[in-house]
Amino acid sequence: MSSFRSSPLILEAINNVCKVPATRIVGEIPGINHHQIDTLLKQVLVFLRENVNDLGDRELLLKVEFNSAKKEIQKMSSEAILEALKVGENILEIDHNFVIVGLDKLSVLSLSDISFFSQENNCCLFHVYNGVELVIYANGRTIIELNALAPATSPMAHKKYARSAHNYELALKDHYKNRIRFGGAFSDHWEDRKTRKLRSFPKKTEKMFHDNLQNYLDENLDGAVVYGNVKKITDDATDIEIRVYGQEVLYIIEVKWLGSNGATSYSETRLSDGISQVEQYLQRDPVVKEVCLVAYDARNLAQFNGLMSVDEMKDQWKEITECKGKSLPVRSKGYVFYLESKFASDKF
| Residue 1: predicted pLDDT | 46
CA distance 126 to 133: 10
Question: pLDDT at residue 236 above 70?
Answer: no
Q: Which residue intervals of the chain bear CATH 3.40.1700?
A: 8-147
Confidence of residue 111 (pLDDT cuts 50, 70, 90): confident
184 and 194 Cβ atoms separated by less than 8 Å: no
Per-residue pLDDT tens digits for 332-342: 999 999 999 98
- pLDDT, position 348: 47
- List the one residue out of 313, 306, 277, 311 whose CA is nearest residue 292: 277
Q: Are strands 317-319 and 311-313 parallel, antiparallel or unpaired?
A: antiparallel
Enumerate residues 6+ apart whose C-beta is below 8 A from 164: 108, 109, 110, 221, 222, 223
| pLDDT score at 134 | 93
Q: Please indicate whether residue 251 or residue 158 has the higher confidence score (pLDDT).
A: 251
pLDDT for the residue numbered 238: 72
- Amino acid letter, 118: S
pLDDT of 100 strictly over 90: yes
Mean pLDDT, the chain, rounded, equals 89
The pLDDT score that the predictor gives to residue 185 is: 79
Residues contacting 287, CB < 8 A, separation 6+: 248, 249, 250
Identify the pLDDT of residue 67.
76
Q: What is the mean pLDDT of residues 113-120?
A: 91
Supply the pLDDT for residue 232: 52
Q: Express each pLDDT in 166-190 by its tens digit.
A: 999 999 999 999 999 999 878 999 9
Measured in Å, how far apart are the chain's first and last C-alpha atoms?
Answer: 56
**Confidence band (pLDDT; 50, 70, 90) for 31?**
confident
pLDDT tens sequence across 49-91 = 999 999 988 999 999 998 778 899 999 999 999 999 999 999 9
pTM for the predicted model, two decimal places:
0.66
- Taking only the tens place, the pLDDT of each residue in 151-161 is 887 666 666 77
The answer to whether the beta carbons of residues 65 and 101 sit under 8 Å apart is: yes
Give phi and psi for 76, each to the nearest 5.
-75, 130
Q: Is the Cβ–Cβ distance between 242 and 224 less than 8 Å?
A: yes
Beta bridge partners of 147: 133
Number of neighbours of residue 292 by Cβ within 10 angstroms: 21
Query: Which CATH number applies to 8-147: 3.40.1700, 3.40.50, 2.50.20, 1.10.150?
Result: 3.40.1700
d(CA 286, CA 321): 21
Q: Are strands 197-198 and 221-222 parallel, antiparallel or unpaired?
A: unpaired
What residue ranges in 123-204 does DSSP mark as E strands? 124-129, 133-138, 141-147, 163-164, 190-192, 197-198
Mean pLDDT confidence for 184-212: 92
Please report the pLDDT score of residue 161 as a whole number. 78
CB atoms within 10 A of CB 2: 12
